[in-house]
Amino acid sequence: MKNDQVYQPAIGPYDQKFAGIATMMRLPHVPSPEGLDVAMCGVPYDMGTFMRPGARSGPAQIRDWSRFIRNVNPATGIAPFEMVQCADIGDAPVTPMNPQASQEKIVEYFAAMAAGGSFPLAAGGDHTIPLLILRGLKRGGILTEPVGIIQFDAHSDVLQTEGGVFDGDEVNHATFIRLGVEEGLIDPKRSIQIGLRGSQYSVDANDFAVDAGMRMIYQHEFDEIGPKAVIKEILDRASGPMYLTIDIDGLDPSICPGTGYPEPGGLSTREMQMILRGLQGIDVIGVDLCEVNAGLDPSGGTALVAAHLLFESLCILAEAVARRKGRV
Amino acid sequence: MKNDQVYQPAIGPYDQKFAGIATMMRLPHVPSPEGLDVAMCGVPYDMGTFMRPGARSGPAQIRDWSRFIRNVNPATGIAPFEMVQCADIGDAPVTPMNPQASQEKIVEYFAAMAAGGSFPLAAGGDHTIPLLILRGLKRGGILTEPVGIIQFDAHSDVLQTEGGVFDGDEVNHATFIRLGVEEGLIDPKRSIQIGLRGSQYSVDANDFAVDAGMRMIYQHEFDEIGPKAVIKEILDRASGPMYLTIDIDGLDPSICPGTGYPEPGGLSTREMQMILRGLQGIDVIGVDLCEVNAGLDPSGGTALVAAHLLFESLCILAEAVARRKGRV
Amino acid sequence: MKNDQVYQPAIGPYDQKFAGIATMMRLPHVPSPEGLDVAMCGVPYDMGTFMRPGARSGPAQIRDWSRFIRNVNPATGIAPFEMVQCADIGDAPVTPMNPQASQEKIVEYFAAMAAGGSFPLAAGGDHTIPLLILRGLKRGGILTEPVGIIQFDAHSDVLQTEGGVFDGDEVNHATFIRLGVEEGLIDPKRSIQIGLRGSQYSVDANDFAVDAGMRMIYQHEFDEIGPKAVIKEILDRASGPMYLTIDIDGLDPSICPGTGYPEPGGLSTREMQMILRGLQGIDVIGVDLCEVNAGLDPSGGTALVAAHLLFESLCILAEAVARRKGRV
Amino acid sequence: MKNDQVYQPAIGPYDQKFAGIATMMRLPHVPSPEGLDVAMCGVPYDMGTFMRPGARSGPAQIRDWSRFIRNVNPATGIAPFEMVQCADIGDAPVTPMNPQASQEKIVEYFAAMAAGGSFPLAAGGDHTIPLLILRGLKRGGILTEPVGIIQFDAHSDVLQTEGGVFDGDEVNHATFIRLGVEEGLIDPKRSIQIGLRGSQYSVDANDFAVDAGMRMIYQHEFDEIGPKAVIKEILDRASGPMYLTIDIDGLDPSICPGTGYPEPGGLSTREMQMILRGLQGIDVIGVDLCEVNAGLDPSGGTALVAAHLLFESLCILAEAVARRKGRV
Amino acid sequence: MKNDQVYQPAIGPYDQKFAGIATMMRLPHVPSPEGLDVAMCGVPYDMGTFMRPGARSGPAQIRDWSRFIRNVNPATGIAPFEMVQCADIGDAPVTPMNPQASQEKIVEYFAAMAAGGSFPLAAGGDHTIPLLILRGLKRGGILTEPVGIIQFDAHSDVLQTEGGVFDGDEVNHATFIRLGVEEGLIDPKRSIQIGLRGSQYSVDANDFAVDAGMRMIYQHEFDEIGPKAVIKEILDRASGPMYLTIDIDGLDPSICPGTGYPEPGGLSTREMQMILRGLQGIDVIGVDLCEVNAGLDPSGGTALVAAHLLFESLCILAEAVARRKGRV
Amino acid sequence: MKNDQVYQPAIGPYDQKFAGIATMMRLPHVPSPEGLDVAMCGVPYDMGTFMRPGARSGPAQIRDWSRFIRNVNPATGIAPFEMVQCADIGDAPVTPMNPQASQEKIVEYFAAMAAGGSFPLAAGGDHTIPLLILRGLKRGGILTEPVGIIQFDAHSDVLQTEGGVFDGDEVNHATFIRLGVEEGLIDPKRSIQIGLRGSQYSVDANDFAVDAGMRMIYQHEFDEIGPKAVIKEILDRASGPMYLTIDIDGLDPSICPGTGYPEPGGLSTREMQMILRGLQGIDVIGVDLCEVNAGLDPSGGTALVAAHLLFESLCILAEAVARRKGRV
């Protein structure tokens, strides 16, 4: 695949990065995923939030701050825009005040994308959306068996809702892992969570995931074993297709304050980058990054980090998709 | 009614205002409205928001900034804490992610309050809640006929939802006037809106209200007639029981930026204060102040103004309730 | 001209305003002004700034905050998107660190636009750009004689550079009026400035403009005569084609703090809106709004007001262009 | 007095305003008031604050934002730096944690200044300091009889401390008027307060001042009579020497949020400027501007307005001092 | 001790964390420490501050941000609310502008608490307060011999005031260790400081503490030895009763900017959490966390971290108190 | 050299750090470098910036935040103000809108300084200025052969401008290393860069530097080898005179957000401090710290860190200069 065949970010002598329309990484905005290998999009859904909603504005803010991204990964040398056809297709449809209708629209959006052969790189929105993307990938034919999950997050998202702490919609930003396992979308034995922390509702709050075989790396364990051991554990689980989901609250709130439920004591950007770069080469079928709440960090620092992590993720996804399509 | 019979704000030699638990205006926190003439409370509901949710944190922020309030109105001399028994009863119950269930809980909360003889002074939450309060006041027996509404707001909240701009819950923060009229809670001919502005979806966007007989004072008309004419118009309509609802976006966003849908070119604080003071003596049966979105103004300026407007409103409500109870 | 023939803002059941790509007022992004009556664009040039540069990010921030705009002017009933074909054509080209080359590119950009029959509605950038736009309009054939200027600004922008306060580029954000008059682009006798204030370098700092016949309404005179007298004075001068330029620092810095050289004691949003609405019907041939410095007001309040003023200006421009094109 | 004999602000071809050391209005920093007509200084004392201390950083922040000031008053044409010798003498000495010792040091500082024939233009610090300055002016021989006070303030600062709301130091930021009257420094019958507002501790909170003959213009009365009537009232009282004190909370907190006890509904900058310009020509013997709390408005907007009001005040003071010294 | 016997945080189906009155960790607010094992309280005293006062608002802000705390420590499994009776008793009394009177009130407040058998978990206020708490614990009978101190702090707080840098109150936020040693409250040989850094006034600035046998771990030594060696050193000293004091400026200012004297290059949240968890089991008799200056970090990030560290500290204190009371 | 012979920072019983004029580290402000060993100054030049200009305000903000600095390095015991005569000489001259003229003025400014025997410690301004300082040091006779560079930076600043990404001034903040090497000012084989990161324009973007023999330590390599290996590599290269340049964006943007082109994943303050302290004793002939953009971090946190790093650098420079002058 040659440079002039694929979309390139608008950066160069005639495209100042501070100027122009804010698209994801300054790629062209196209009306549909048709013809794309990787479809960048937003999912402005935050109706699954308990504490501080507002992540519906995340995609807009991430687009604006992705102006700072260039072309090539400095650590791995990966040049993703050379490997796959990639563009910004805009945002998934949502219907404010109707969680269920919005969820179905989002699932269908990703189902159509998957059916057309495009792989998603999505910016949330709250952390309900990986469940919806996985449902869509299954409906669209890309996810044909339970997928392994690589999840960066402060929270394990396995909240028990029956007899639990609320009586709202079970599909929310604290349940996607549990539901994904129950629905057969996620293979817990090939799944891993990094960065868990924060006080818990009870001693047994995460028993569901432990019992299901999920590997849960709490931050205090991470402090003992370090990022290289984590990379090894992920690679051990990455024997088949994997799905990568990043809750921005996996990072420390001093780095990413713009999120609904910050938990002090999180990962550093460098640790995140090191781990993601260590995953280059695995078979990722989709990526999301969630919980950027624009209003809670108007300075844009949270969104800037999010844009960087999306670029790191794209480097992995682009290679995986290129390999699936026989290009590398 | 004498001073030592009623709750007083905790301000004085042993109660520094910067210290202690943040309750509404530093009044005692009591577990229920029982025995109160005026029940101050929060309604942390923002599931009726389109653009930027987050007003569920409004009551908490308003409580913290109401520390700056003292006892006596400087313009009218009204000392509301001498006139009625008043306390902070905490917040109405809500259920995140379940708009309908939350709405019913809120209605029942105000119905119980009304049935016990207490009148509400509520801090939102989004501007869905006056509809819910009015339903509660009716169910609880205080609202026995359609009430006149005094509404400060940038938006007329008469959105047509059939064939309209969304397919979510019809009960939301842009419909309460229309639904209130349709349900017989609001008497449009005795109702008045002040501060309407902002670009509109269509030329006929507000025809429902105009046709129903509502008096709609757009900001550009306000600029022509001034606050005294507005006071007169309100008093002309205040021949019976009135309900006062303040959307904080009625004020200019340079004053109150912490709101979900700011519309530049709004009322000044002084205009609002002048009008509210001009209404002293009318028969108000309830008050709400909505759309303070804490996360969008962490400096607290919006909440400080909100606390002041709640105090101004309390001065009116306290006198009305005292009169109803035969005390003045 | 009917609704389905022209571009419409993306607002409605399937286009949530918080979602999607940020274009000017959510209009389509098109690659060139071809076929447009009014071309919305940005001019991300701030190399003419003395004190606090950064207005190059103004267009991006204004686009994001123009999400809040709807279709119809609430005071005049004007529906500009029904009157003219209007879209967002992106930003004029600039060359960082080369003021002269950038200036020429910008002039040529507007010359091409004018030659194609499109009229500009531009978001700056610093207040150098009206000079460049006027040069472009002349080169492109729209400006055929000196135009009258309507300028909202804290500063008169008539700085004498010979023997003056600096030895940099004479084309900068404090000289455009003087140069425009000297170059025969501006007719000072039909021009008017509103909102001038701030301490001056000398008593005779503005003598050039006074001598040339410019009407200069200082803020302290404005306080005496009020907005209606100002409207009348503008209309008296609007006997021919006019150009409208708004320096956002014309507004008070409590409203628009995001600007390079704030001067306390400025216009209110309501005064600006009243005046602009009073100009409906005049023959405006171009509009710019400058000096929104995104980094100095990350909250976006400045950009929100700017978006509103651009909409107000569009209502005037759209009617003028439609009339020129024989549509109204 | 000619231009080259007096200190001039460092603005011009070789003195960019964004560069260099931050002194008051970019005047030279000199070690003592010797030889000065007007001594600009800071008083970084905030130990008299109840609610939110921090005004000790006010002088530093005001210096930085006074970079924006130029030479000539746009409304009156007054060029103060041509009329008097004026410089920045740094800050009065204070002793943290020892209110009484600090007070005495400050009094002595102004006494020495007055004894040397210099008149003060001081930036606070909290609103305790006018009392200390007046004591100093008396001790130094400038204040020989009770002076009339022109006070812009939200609060009347006549707090009764005996049996009052605290048991701390009677000399604090809520008592200076009462103490000044009691000590014979202030002539209440020639004194006037503008902008009073905010809820009060009791109905009779301000009886001391009323009984003493002070003219108290509450904001709600100001709204009725307007700034010109206020100017007239001040001029009527300005039959002898006057002292001007500006509490920045006299302005609305949307304009000046950086202050310890904000009271919504205050003066606008334009009203303040109009009134101050209306006082040109009166015999002012000293000026202070207080309660700029730098940490509560890091954006600097409050300090920028403060710098402007100090310049307006300087225009009055410079003329008065020049007249006393027989120069005009 | 069973769950239904003790106060529990208000989190659950009917107690949304964003709603309701802000108490410490959402525990009940009770009027006195009577019957409590651990008394949570605030000490809104900041009159001992040199540079940037304002920590008097710390307790209020910490309460609001402690909403995010849940029940169980994720690393140690400790569930403190199951081990001891714990509630929020409000704030200690203070008298603005009277440091000495305030100090005595605070000492007496903690003396009464100690005499009643309750152990303090206090939120400051400035770092004067550990001295006052220790005095109170001695007066109340809990501290019967010099206690070992575990102090996280950028500053050693051993300032020599005789011939020193100021002439204010010797009891201030830079002297508590020296005074505590001199008064026999603190056993320096069993005491340890972690995180010291920042430029010093002189080479011998900390000689008092070194000579007294205090273990001082500067940040640059910490970088060499790491948190586990620090834990070991603390445990070696924890042979008897210990007092834990956390100055929030021990953490890096990028994490906790809301403090009066930030020193770049501090501890990370993860290091703090690791060390505190390593102390589980020691005999702590009291805890304070100081120097959260609400106005300097309105975003609340500093207060959120403070709330987390108070929870970590509570886990240690609760176990120690339960053991003292024979419950574990 | 004894204490009373040299300038000392104004900190002590009579010089409260929050008070007084803001000079660099509270040293005296002197009109010229005459007689100084080390000349502290600002270079308010940012016309070499691509993305977000504004660093011209950096020196002013750094001065204000250097109030927090004291006298002695806590890790090395170095007391720089005892070793050399050091003062603040204000800012280098610049000419807004004329990059070339400004550059020449700056070069001449440092040439004169060097010719007089003073060594520079400069605060930027953007990262164009080390090139200008090196040119000045050569012209003034201090730099007599190519110097080794120690550079902390996210960016390598070796941008190829021919055929490159812009057509502006080749002397800008992305080219100084390449131009310095080409002009014979810099010896690439003795030079080293630390902290490089961020996506690149192309795989070969840094080939110029690699080919020239520059040691480039990317952040991802730093993560492998750690700060002590970095210190060793620097010391290996420090066989002759060295120049130290710190781009504040070398630090992570969570620590220093106030910079034009932030790159997440950078150095921590502690790592920077450890490395700088490890360089004590090398022969440094000049220091700059650049890219502090005041407007993008009004909280001042970035400037505070900058002030600390300047103090660390001063400790190295002071010893080197004292040794050159035969004093140590």
Q: Does F54 touch chain D (CB under 8 A)?
A: no
| Contacts with A203 from chain E: Cβ below 8 Å | 72, 77, 79
In this structure, the number of other CB atoms found within 10 A of the CB of residue F21 comes to 23
Report angle CA F163, F168, F169 to the nearest 5 degrees: 105
pLDDT band at A301 (very low <50, low <70, confident <90, very high): very high
Q: What is the pLDDT of residue E302?
A: 98
Which structure tokens are listed for B46? Answer: 């923002």
In sequence order, what are the residues at sequence separation of 6 or more whose Cβ sits closer than 8 angstroms to the Cβ of residue A146? A184, A185, A186, A187, A190
Which structure tokens are listed for F134? Answer: 């090196």
The Cα D94–Cα D105 span in angstroms is 7
Q: How high is the mean pLDDT of chain D?
A: 95
**The model's pTM:** 0.97
- Reported as a single tens digit per residue, the pLDDT across C236-290 is 999 999 999 999 999 999 999 999 999 999 999 999 999 999 999 999 999 999 9
Q: B27 and B7 in contact (C-beta within 8 Å)? A: yes
CB contact under 8 A, B97 and A169: yes
The Cα E96–Cα D46 span in angstroms is 11
Amino acid at F12: G
Nearest Cα neighbor of D95 from D47, D48, D63 is D47
Q: Does B50 touch chain C (CB under 8 A)?
A: yes
| Contacts with F57 from chain D: Cβ below 8 Å | 18
Architecture of the domain spanning C25-324: 3-Layer(aba) Sandwich (3.40)
Q: What is the ipTM of this complex?
A: 0.96
In which region does residue A130 sit, left (phi positive, over 0), alpha (psi from -120 to 50) or beta (all else)?
A: alpha
Q: F244 and F313 in contact (C-beta within 8 Å)? A: yes
Chains with 3 or more CB pairs closer than 8 angstroms to B?
A: A, C, D, E
- Work out the minimum CA distance from E157 to partner chain A, whole angstroms: 27
**Mode of pairing for the β-strands spanning B86-91 and B38-43:** parallel
- Reported as a single tens digit per residue, the pLDDT across C194-238 is 999 999 999 998 999 999 999 999 999 999 999 999 999 999 999
Q: Tell whether the model's pLDDT for residue D167 goes beyond 80.
A: no
What chain A residue is nearest to B99 in terms of C-alpha separation? A97
Q: Tell whether the model's pLDDT for residue B4 goes beyond 70.
A: no
The Cα A97–Cα B97 span in angstroms is 9
Interface of D with B in 198-257 (CB under 8 A): 198-203, 205, 218-220, 223, 252-254, 257
| Contacts with E77 from chain A: Cβ below 8 Å | 203
The Cα A11–Cα A18 span in angstroms is 10
Cβ-nearest to A201 among E70, E252, E311: E70
Break chain E into its structural domains and give their ranges: 3-9+19-324
Q: Does C196 touch chain D (CB under 8 A)?
A: yes
pLDDT band at A159 (very low <50, low <70, confident <90, very high): confident
Q: Tell whether the model's pLDDT for residue E265 goes beyond 80.
A: yes
| Contacts with E252 from chain F: Cβ below 8 Å | 255, 268-270
Nearest Cα neighbor of B133 from B16, B56, B243, B233 is B243
Size of interface D-E (CB pairs under 8 A): 65
CB contact under 8 A, E60 and B19: yes
Helix (H) or strand (E) run with residue A38 in it: strand A38-43
Q: What is the pLDDT of residue B200?
A: 94
Chains with 3 or more CB pairs closer than 8 angstroms to C?
A: A, B, D, F
CB contact under 8 A, C199 and D71: yes
In this structure, the number of other CB atoms found within 10 A of the CB of residue A163 comes to 6
Nearest Cα neighbor of D71 from D118, D11, D148 is D11
Q: B3 and B82 in contact (C-beta within 8 Å)? A: yes
Helix (H) or strand (E) run with residue A90 in it: strand A86-91
Q: What is the pLDDT of residue E4?
A: 59
User: Across residues B165-191, what is the average pLDDT?
Assistant: 90
Q: Does F42 touch chain D (CB under 8 A)?
A: yes
pLDDT means per 10 residues, chain C with 328 residues, are: 74 84 97 97 96 97 98 97 97 91 96 98 97 98 97 93 65 94 98 97 91 97 98 97 98 98 98 98 98 96 98 98 92
Q: How high is the mean pLDDT of chain A?
A: 95
Q: To which residue do tokens 């922040």 refer?
A: D61
Q: What is the pLDDT of residue F3?
A: 56
Nearest Cα neighbor of A69 from F263, C91, F175 is F263
Q: Does F22 touch chain E (CB under 8 A)?
A: no
Helix (H) or strand (E) run with residue F40 in it: strand F38-43
* Helix pair B301-324, B269-278: axis angle to 10 deg: 0
- DSSP lists the bridge partners of residue F15 as F12
Q: What is the pLDDT of residue F162?
A: 60
CATH of domain F3-324: 3.40.800.10
- Work out the minimum CA distance from A67 to partner chain B, whole angstroms: 24
Q: What is the pLDDT of residue D165?
A: 47
Q: Of residues C95 and F318, which shows the higher confidence score?
A: F318
CB contact under 8 A, A90 and C21: yes
Q: B250 and B154 in contact (C-beta within 8 Å)? A: yes
Q: What is the pLDDT of residue D2?
A: 54
Distances (CA, A) of E158 to D122, E178, E211: 35, 5, 12
The Cα E260–Cα E128 span in angstroms is 13
Report angle CA B319, B324, B328 to the nearest 5 degrees: 50
Q: Tell whether the model's pLDDT for residue A166 goes beyond 90.
A: no
D35-324: which CATH number, 3.40.718.10, 3.40.800.10, 3.40.50.720, 3.20.20.80?
A: 3.40.800.10
In a mutational test of the A interface, the residue from C16, C17, C21, C57 whose CB has the highest number of chain A CBs within 10 Å is C21
The Cα B96–Cα A97 span in angstroms is 11
The Cα D195–Cα B199 span in angstroms is 35
Nearest Cα neighbor of D39 from D243, D240, D321, D306 is D321
pLDDT band at F2 (very low <50, low <70, confident <90, very high): low
Give the rounded distance of the alpha carbon of F135 from its chain centre.
15
CB contact under 8 A, D264 and B70: no
Cβ-nearest to A94 among C16, C56, C94: C16
Q: Does C68 touch chain B (CB under 8 A)?
A: yes
Q: How high is the mean pLDDT of chain F?
A: 95
DSSP tag of D226 = H
Q: What is the pLDDT of residue B12?
A: 75
In this structure, the number of other CB atoms found within 10 A of the CB of residue A30 comes to 18
- Reported as a single tens digit per residue, the pLDDT across E45-79 is 999 999 999 999 999 999 999 999 999 999 999 99
CB contact under 8 A, D59 and F19: yes
Which structure tokens are listed for A176? Answer: 């996607």
Q: Of residues D5 and D180, which shows the higher confidence score?
A: D180
pLDDT band at F168 (very low <50, low <70, confident <90, very high): confident
- Work out the minimum CA distance from E14 to partner chain F, whole angstroms: 37
Q: C95 and C105 in contact (C-beta within 8 Å)? A: yes
Q: To which residue do tokens 């410490």 refer?
A: E24
CB contact under 8 A, E21 and B63: yes
In sequence order, what are the residues at sequence separation of 6 or more whose Cβ sits closer than 8 angstroms to the Cβ of residue C211? none
Nearest Cα neighbor of C41 from C52, C29, C51, C50 is C29
Q: Tell whether the model's pLDDT for residue A3 goes beyond 60.
A: no
Cβ-nearest to D167 among E56, E101, E296: E101
E3-9+19-324: which CATH number, 3.40.800.10, 3.40.50.300, 3.30.2270.10, 1.20.120.160?
A: 3.40.800.10
Q: What is the pLDDT of residue C1?
A: 53
The Cα B267–Cα D264 span in angstroms is 13
Distances (CA, A) of E239 to C14, C173, E189, E283: 68, 71, 11, 8
What chain D residue is nearest to E56 in terms of C-alpha separation? D52
Cβ-count burial of C137 within 10 angstroms (0-12 exposed, 13-18 middle, 19+ buried)? buried
- Reported as a single tens digit per residue, the pLDDT across D216-230 is 999 999 999 999 999
pLDDT band at F4 (very low <50, low <70, confident <90, very high): low
CB contact under 8 A, B198 and C74: yes
Q: Of residues B169 and B26, which shows the higher confidence score?
A: B26
Q: Does B285 touch chain D (CB under 8 A)?
A: no
What chain A residue is nearest to C57 in terms of C-alpha separation? A18
pLDDT band at E165 (very low <50, low <70, confident <90, very high): very low
Beta strands in chain E (DSSP E): 38-43, 86-91, 119-124, 148-152, 192-196, 215-218, 242-247, 284-290
Q: What percent of chain E has pLDDT over 70?
A: 96
| Contacts with B69 from chain D: Cβ below 8 Å | 199
CB contact under 8 A, E18 and B93: no
